[in-house]
């Protein structure tokens, strides 16, 4: 920090619309897209990210460059840093916090459980504490996950379904996050909207996700492992294109009620809402490989094996009626055209520039 840093924070948070948004996880996949979209429409936006090394740090730096070009400054810091958070909330009167920083991925939890506790539990609490103490209090819109539906759910998943059987520590921390956020709504009058994302994909995506490393492995001629369930059951995901998810985030932000604080006569009016942001159309992992083969014009080498118990679920499928009704959410990008956009980006980012990913 310093005078130049202060100036960057202030100019980034300058708003034409009256909305000023802190985007956590801004160097991440969804965060970078959302921050740019908010800035483009005239909102004041400040990014925050700890640039952890869960995956390719160069990709996060490249996303940060995109943000800089769009006029969004990204503060390098951790959501657990209460001093930093309080300083930012003192400097800028955020109307909203779009909280997307988290330890994502289900398999990484097998060996790195603490990372999930640090970011998804302790970090969430630190962030909500800062929001609670801020004046004015911002409305909080944050990313939960389809993984909260766990093992027992019937499909399609609806927000009213039970979420009491998490298949992974990641899912457990997202579920716990929903309960924690709810308590801050009850006690401190924070307006909270939880968005359960379903397998978000697209340009600038996450290298730890299957569609992403499938594309790499097809081009490298490396065999792809496709999981199937017991008795050859198909593994499928409700793949949701990044632009659709970002639109959902923006309308969740626009429809969020103000936080009311714990005192005064408005107490109790702050909202607590949860929405599925999916695509309503599950696609099998095998079909993803077929589409990638066509787009890359390279045949994939497939290896089909039974899914180990690693935290993955067999199937996800969103019922999006509630988000449609209350947020006007309506995904428009089908898997073919979404993957086409991903592949175009992938080839230009990695193929032409030959980065160390290869």
Known catalytic residues? 170
As a whole number of angstroms, the distance between CA 98 and CA 101 comes to: 9
CA dihedral sign of residues 277, 58, 310, 227: positive
Instruction: Show the tokens assigned to 182.
Output: 């709810």
Torsion of the alpha carbons at 192, 198, 204 and 207, rounded to the nearest 10: 120
As a whole number of angstroms, the distance between CA 26 and CA 23 comes to: 6
- For ligand NAD, which is the closer residue by CB, 98 or 218? 98
Query: Using the rule CB under 6 A, is 212 a contact of ligand NAD?
Result: no
- For ligand NAD, which is the closer residue by CB, 48 or 260? 48
As a whole number of angstroms, the distance between CA 300 and CA 126 comes to: 45
Binding segment for ligand NAD (CB under 6 A), chosen from 101-109, 160-168, 220-228, 295-303, is 101-109
Query: Using the rule CB under 6 A, is 333 a contact of ligand NAD?
Result: no
State the minimum distance, in angstroms, from the CB of residue 266 to ligand NAD: 29
Q: Which of 22, 29, 260, 338 binds ligand NAD (CB under 6 A)?
A: 29
Query: Using the rule CB under 6 A, is 143 a contact of ligand NAD?
Result: yes
Considering only the C-alpha atoms of the chain, give the largest distance between any 2 of them, rounded to a whole number of Å.
Answer: 65
Look at strands 96-99 and 139-145 and give their pairing: parallel
Query: Using the rule CB under 6 A, is 60 a contact of ligand NAD?
Result: yes
Binding segment for ligand NAD (CB under 6 A), chosen from 27-35, 86-94, 128-136, 157-165, is 27-35
- For ligand NAD, which is the closer residue by CB, 135 or 179? 179
Query: Using the rule CB under 6 A, is 260 a contact of ligand NAD?
Result: no
User: If you write DSSP's letter for every residue of 119-178 in order, what string do you get?
Assistant: IIIIHHHHHHHHHHHSSSPPEEEEEEEGGGGTTT--SSB-TTS-----SSHHHHHHHHHH
Measured CA to CA in angstroms, residue 53 lies from 59, 208, 295, 302 at distances of: 10, 12, 30, 29
State the minimum distance, in angstroms, from the CB of residue 102 to ligand NAD: 3
Binding segment for ligand NAD (CB under 6 A), chosen from 98-106, 263-271, 289-297, 304-312, is 98-106
Task: List residues near ligand NAD by CB under 6 A.
Answer: 24-25, 27-31, 49-52, 60, 78-80, 100-104, 119, 123, 143, 145, 197, 199-200, 206
């Amino acid at each position: 920090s310093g005078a130049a840093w202060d100036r960057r924070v202030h100019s980034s948070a300058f708003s034409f619309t009256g909305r000023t948004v802190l985007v956590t996880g801004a160097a991440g996949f969804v965060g970078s897209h959302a921050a740019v979209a908010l800035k483009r429409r005239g909102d004041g936006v400040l990014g925050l990210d700890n640039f952890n090394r869960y995956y390719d740090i160069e990709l996060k730096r490249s996303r940060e460059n995109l943000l800089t070009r769009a006029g969004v400054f990204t503060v390098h810091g951790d959501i657990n840093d209460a001093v930093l958070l309080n300083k930012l909330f003192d400097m800028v009167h955020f109307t909203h916090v779009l909280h997307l920083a988290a330890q994502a991925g289900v398999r990484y939890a097998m060996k790195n459980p603490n990372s999930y506790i640090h970011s998804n539990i302790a970090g969430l609490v630190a962030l909500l504490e800062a929001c609670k103490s801020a004046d004015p209090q911002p409305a909080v819109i944050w990313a939960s996950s389809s993984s909260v539906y766990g093992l027992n759910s019937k499909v399609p998943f609806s927000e009213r379904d039970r979420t009491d059987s998490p298949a992974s520590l990641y899912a457990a921390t997202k579920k716990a996050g929903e309960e924690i956020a709810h308590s801050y709504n009850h006690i401190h009058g924070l307006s909270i909207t939880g968005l359960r994302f379903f397998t978000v994909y697209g340009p600038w995506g996450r290298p730890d996700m299957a569609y992403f490393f499938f594309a790499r492995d097809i081009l490298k001629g490396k065999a792809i492992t496709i999981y199937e369930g017991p008795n050859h059951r198909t593994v499928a995901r409700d793949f949701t294109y990044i632009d659709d998810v970002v639109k959902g985030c923006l309308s969740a932000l626009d429809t969020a009620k103000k936080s009311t604080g714990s005192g005064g006569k408005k107490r109790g009016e702050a909202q607590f809402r949860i929405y599925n942001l999916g695509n309503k159309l599950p696609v099998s992992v095998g079909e993803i490989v077929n589409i990638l083969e066509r787009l890359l014009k390279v045949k994939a080498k497939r290896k089909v094996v039974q899914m180990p118990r690693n935290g993955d679920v067999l199937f996800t499928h969103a019922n999006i009626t509630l988000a449609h009704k209350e947020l006007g959410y309506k995904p428009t990008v089908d898997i073919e055209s979404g993957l086409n956009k991903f592949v175009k980006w992938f080839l230009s980012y990695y193929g032409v520039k030959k980065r160390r990913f290869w």
